[in-house]
Structure 1
Amino acid sequence: MADHPTSVALIRYFVWVVVIIGFVQFLRKLIRKNQPNTDARYKSQKVIEVTGYVFILLLSISYFTGNIKDFALAIGLLTAGITITLQELILSIAGSVYIFFIQVYKPGDRIEINGIKGDVIDIDSIYTTMMEIGEWVSSDNYSGRIVKLSNAFVFKGPVYNYSRDFPFIWDEFNIPVRYGSDIELAKELIVGIASEQLSGYVKNSISDWKRVVERYYIEDAQVAPTLALTMTDNWVQFNLRYIVDYKKRRYTKHLLNELILKAIEETDGKVVLASTTIEVVRVPTLNIEKDHTSKPG
């Protein structure tokens, strides 16, 4: 073995790598077992993981250069050699650093990136892992697929965050009311139900929206439910716009529709929901002449 110093050094190198990885895994398990706070546990595990990568990198440079003083030279040569072939990997690692320091998003946030919408469940040095929402299921429901997306995508397009600064979204739906209905009563019913059911969201969103206005160059907006009327060919269209928790959009819309429908039915015909109708203005007269000419025998 003494006649092959390179082999000995290589074995030592791999032994150290295994020791570092084993120690990192040991610390991760220790933290997972003893740290009850989910956020602190997750961040501590990521710090230990990144620290382990740094030690392995330093160890690798020391082995291949023979001297840690050649760190800058080794990095330069390494970068020149692999930049073209590992562009995506480099961008992914840079993206993870960008996500961490700029706080583009964090685990637990609901985001849309590269056309994929979902809840972030993990962020590592290369990938962001999401629980997908939508696709073949309606509204904001989980599809059941877990998606791994390269962190490089934070540099390639917009990132929509549903929850970072303002955990509420505006939603709306239309209610068609037949002409001849009591419009004032319909307005009173719809606004009253919306205000009652959404009062908690309105109250909690006021302070959050105020912080958004103070932080960004943005106009103030009304967070209380609003109603807009539009006259169409077939009915008066009521457009109800309101603010809601981003995770309860589907349930809230269902609840409002159910309560509004029930309230309208209890008006005894004063307010009637409309449906598409066809009005026949005039039926054209058809002249049918019967041919009495007998056929030759």
Structure 2
Amino acid sequence: MIEIEPIKEWLNANPFVWSMIKFLVILIVILLCIQLLRRYLKNKISNTVIRYKAQKGIEIFGYILLVFLVITYFSGAIKDFTLIVGLFTAGLAFTLQELILSIAGSIYIFLVKVYKPGDRIEINGIKGDVIDVDSIYTTMMEIGEWVSSDNYSGRIVKLSNAFVFKGPIYNYSNDFPFIWDEFNLPIRYGSDIDLAKSIIIKIASETLSEYTANSKTQWKEVVNKYYIEDAQVDPTLAITLTDNWIQFNLRYIVDFKKRRITKHLLNDSIRKEIEATDGKVLLASTTIELIKIPELKVKLKEEKTSQ
């Protein structure tokens, strides 16, 4: 059997070791309680947004509680606590500066609301939808790369929160979940230009009516919040004369997650309407017209052979 008395005598002779053991036990109990509480909230809360925020709140509260525990527990057990903490903090900051910057970044993201899960952002050259933000990493579902337009590539990217301090962050959905998009339509010279303009504006107004109405209200809030001039959110059409055709540039506002499908609907509807004009409006394409083939004169020189 293990004798208890020698262990007690050794612990009494080394109070700091005994103090560390008690601290580790308390630390383990607190961590277990946090994990159990997070699991309880996960099972009890059905709403995804509320569940996510509740779990993150418990996680942040746990970090604060652990820091408070360390300060209060050791301040009365170690002499010159301030000096020790200062030296320890300096060494820790130098060794784990990237980790500390990541944790600071997570606090900055949470307090300033730089972005949140569900937002579409571009940071450090990576574009995607934010699916999680923890104390160290931001997790995104990547968009683009080898996939055209705003489609998922299928890769999940984990990015250090420290990058919020190192470069620009493009947010497609914060404050104003709409973006401006545009495309060009080449119309052949000789077409009924007024008819072409009416077709494009009519289809754009009908297809984009919901986006236009919703964006106007939110754009007013953006103008009131930031120092920014008012902008045109209704579909606009600009015409440019080129050497080969009349270029119609359609600019419009659209939901940041529906850019590809909206462009498809607009192009398809405009194509059908133009085809229904019976040749009054024609789409142009790059062509080469040969006016005249130059004449070639070939002179053959007869060779005389001597017999």
Q: Give TM-score scaled by structure 2 length.
A: 0.90
* Letter aligned with residue 100 of structure 2: I
- Does residue 274 in structure 1 map to residue 284 in structure 2? yes
Moved more, 224-233 or 59-68: 59-68
1:25–1:285 Cα change, 3 Å: same
Give the match for residue 241 of structure 1: 251
Identity of matched residues, %: 65
| Cα pair distance change 1:211/1:16, threshold 3 Å | same
Structure 1 position 77, deviation (Å): 1.7
How far does residue 46 in structure 1 lie from its aligned partner after superposition?
1.1
In 2, Cα distance between equivalents of 1:38 and 1:97: 21
- Aligned residue number for residue 224 of structure 1: 234
Structure 1 Cα separation of the partners of residues 305 and 226 of structure 2 = 90
For residues 123-151 of structure 1, give each alpha carbon's deviation from its aligned partner in whole angstroms, at most 9, with x where no partner exists: 11111111111111111111111111111
For structure 1, which segment, 72-81 or 114-123, has the greater mean C-alpha deviation from structure 2 after superposition? Answer: 72-81
Query: Is 1:215 aligned to 2:225, yes or no?
Result: yes
Q: What is aligned with 1:98? A: 108
Contact 2:121 2:171 in 1 (8 A): yes
Residue number in structure 1 paired with 2:3: none
What does residue range 1-297 of structure 1 map to in structure 2 within 5 Å?
Answer: 1-2=7-8, 3-4=10-11, 5=14, 7-60=17-70, 67=77, 72-293=82-303
Distance 1:184 1:248 in 2: 29
* Aligned counterparts of 2:31 and 2:88: Cα–Cα separation in 1: 23
SS at match of 2:95: coil
Shift in Å, 1:62: 5.8
RMSD: 2.2
Number of aligned residues: 297
Residue 72 and residue 279 in structure 1: after superposition, are their counterparts in 2 closer, same or farther (change >3 A)?
farther
2:111 counterpart letter in structure 1: F
What do residues 203-256 of structure 1 show as CA deviations (whole Å, max 9, x unaligned)? Answer: 111110001111111111111100000111111110000000101111000000
User: What TM-score do the two structures reach when normalised by structure 1?
Assistant: 0.93
In 1, are the aligned partners of 2:74 and 2:81 still within 8 Å (CA)? Answer: no
Alpha-carbon distance in 2 for matches of 1:182, 1:276: 20
Task: Give the stretch that moved more between structures: 208-217 or 277-286.
Answer: 277-286
Separation in structure 2 between the aligned mates of residue 247 and residue 86 of structure 1, nearest angstrom: 38
Aligned to 1:179, what secondary structure does the other structure show? Answer: coil
Flag structure 2 segments of 5+ consecutive residues without an equivalent. Answer: 1-6
Change (3 A) 1:250 1:71: farther
Distance 1:291 1:65 in 2: 113
Give the whole-Å Cα distance in 2 for the aligned partners of 1:72 and 1:177: 77
Distance of aligned partners of 1:58 and 1:253 in 2 relative to their CA distance in 1, 3 Å threshold: same
1:88, CA displacement in angstroms? 1.1
Q: 1:123 to 1:59 in 2, by over 3 A?
A: same
Change beyond 3 A, Cα 1:118–1:32: same
Classify 1:69/1:121 alpha carbon distance in 2 versus 1 (closer, same or farther; 3 Å). Answer: farther
Distance 1:183 1:21, change over 3 A: same
Is residue 61–residue 71 contact of structure 1 (8 Å, CA) maintained in 2?
no
Task: Specify the code of the residue in structure 1 equivalent to 2:162.
Answer: A
Please say if residues 194 and 225 of structure 1, whose CA atoms lie closer than 8 Å, have aligned partners that are also in contact: yes
Q: For residue 238 of structure 1, give the secondary structure of its aligned residue in structure 2.
A: strand
TM-fit CA distance, 1:19:
1.6
